[in-house]
Amino acid sequence: MSSDDAVLLDEPVPGVRLVTLNRPQVRNAMTAEVTAAWTEIMSEVRADTTVRVLVVTGAGSSFCSGADLSWLDQGAAQDTTPDRMRDRMLPFYRTWLSPRELPFPVIAAINGPAIGAGLCAALACDLRYASTTARFSAPFIYLGTHGGMAATYLLPEAVGVPRARELLYTGRELNAQEALEWGLVSGVADDVLDHSLRMAQHIATAAPIATRLTKAGLEQSAAGLAASIQWEALAQPVTLDTSDVHEGIQAKRERRPPIFTGN
| Per-residue model confidence as pLDDT tens digits over 231-247 | 999 999 999 999 999 99
Query: Once rounded to an integer, what is the mean pLDDT over residues 106-132?
Result: 98
The mean pLDDT of 187-205, rounded to a whole number, is 98
Q: How confident is the model at residue 1 (pLDDT cuts 50, 70, 90)?
A: very low
According to the model, what pLDDT value does residue 168 have?
98
Q: What is the pLDDT of residue 3?
A: 64
What does pLDDT average to over the chain?
Answer: 94
Q: In the prediction, which pLDDT does 141 show?
A: 97
| Tens-place pLDDT, residues 179-192 | 999 999 999 999 99
pLDDT digits (tens, 9 = 90+) for 16-63: 999 999 999 999 999 999 999 999 999 999 999 999 999 999 999 999
- Note the Cα 104 to chain centre separation in Å: 11
* Confidence class for position 75, pLDDT limits 50, 70, 90: low
Q: To the nearest whole percent, how much of the chain has pLDDT over 70?
A: 95
pLDDT score at 86: 87
Q: What is the rounded average pLDDT of the residues 167-184? A: 98
Q: Does position 73 have pLDDT exceeding 70, yes or no?
A: no
Q: Would you say residue 217 has pLDDT above 80?
A: yes
- Confidence grade of residue 71 (pLDDT, cut at 50, 70, 90): low
Domain boundaries, the chain: 3-203, 208-254
pLDDT at residue 77, as a whole number: 58
Q: Which superfamily does CATH assign the domain made up of 3-203 to?
A: 2-enoyl-CoA Hydratase; Chain A, domain 1 (3.90.226.10)
Over residues 136-155, the mean pLDDT reads: 96
Q: Does residue 203 have a pLDDT over 90?
A: yes
Residue 206 has pLDDT above 50, yes or no: yes
> What is the pTM assigned to this prediction?
0.94
What's phi and psi for 131, nearest 5 deg? -80, 165
Return the closest-CA partner of residue 103 out of 209, 199, 228.
Answer: 209
